[in-house]
Amino acid sequence: MMKKLFFLSAFVFLFTTVFAQGPWSVGGKLGINFTNISGEYSSSVNTDHNWITTPLFGAVALYSFSDLVAVSAELNLAKSGTLINLTFVGSAGGEEKGSYKEKFTSIQIPILARFTFGETWQFFAYGGFYWSYILGGKYEAKSDSFDQSGKIKFGDAPDNYTGDDIYLDKDYNRRMDIGLNVGGGVQRQLGPGKLVLDLRFGMGFLDFNKFPDDNKPDGYKSFLNRSLNLSLAYIFNLGN
């Protein structure tokens, strides 16, 4: 027991000593995420993609090389998705209008280069890349003739499954995304830390679907994540 306490104390001492001497800042953030997924399965299907609003939560770590240049890393829990309005031929043979809304819960890890200017009110701009992984999702499908909702899961459906959940084949649907983040904001000292207002645009690079190039429908356009988020963070320097 004494040996465990000794190693724990040594680890805590080493951790606090290293970070207290270094230019590290950490904190938490929350915000609003406006998200959409661009793309078309076929030129023969008339669809209209719309932005949806979702919450955003996360943790921030910032390493400052100087007053001007820093690198930030984040661990965010965010939602992506879209609302699709579409027109199709219904079961009675007539034209129907409907909507399909999907939301995916994802872990996101952005790594960003950050440039800061100013003194009391500090302005910053940044750019970099993010990695994300979908944990799961939900959908709602509505029209004049039906109303259905359920969860979106990755993997094989249970044998003889007749429920409303959607199971996506991992060989044909991609859970991971890599993309670009650019943005900026303003920050000011408030108490022991800084209050940070951040506006960011995100653009995914990877198609959600895994169609082979020689097997894509006519008029197919890649399904790519797009996002615009506004967040408020509070960070404090570990050396203070």
Residue-range domain boundaries for the chain: 24-237
Q: For every one of its 240 residues, what pLDDT tens digit does the chain have, with 9 covering 90 and above?
A: 444 444 444 444 444 444 444 599 999 999 999 999 988 876 666 677 899 999 999 999 999 999 899 999 999 999 999 998 877 766 666 677 888 999 999 999 999 999 999 989 999 999 999 999 999 999 999 987 788 999 999 999 999 999 999 999 988 899 999 999 999 999 999 999 999 999 999 999 999 998 876 778 777 888 999 999 999 999 999 876
Q: How far apart are CA 186 and CA 230, in angstroms?
A: 12
34 forms beta bridges with: 53, 228
pLDDT of residue 4: 45
| Predicted pLDDT of residue 45 | 63
Q: How many CA atoms lie within 13 A of 137 on its CB side?
A: 22
pLDDT given for residue 74 in this prediction: 97
For residue 6, what pLDDT is reported?
42
Distance spanning both ends of the chain, measured CA to CA: 33
Q: What is the pTM of this model?
A: 0.82
How far are the Cα atoms of 89, 176, 179, 213, 233 from residue 224, in angstroms, in the given order? Answer: 27, 11, 10, 16, 27
Q: Which CATH architecture has domain 24-237?
A: Beta Barrel (2.40)
Q: Which pLDDT value is given to residue 214?
A: 72
The residue whose two tokens read 């006519």 is 218
Q: E strand or H helix at 195, and its extent?
A: strand 193-204
Rounded to a whole number, what is the largest CA-CA distance in the chain?
Answer: 78
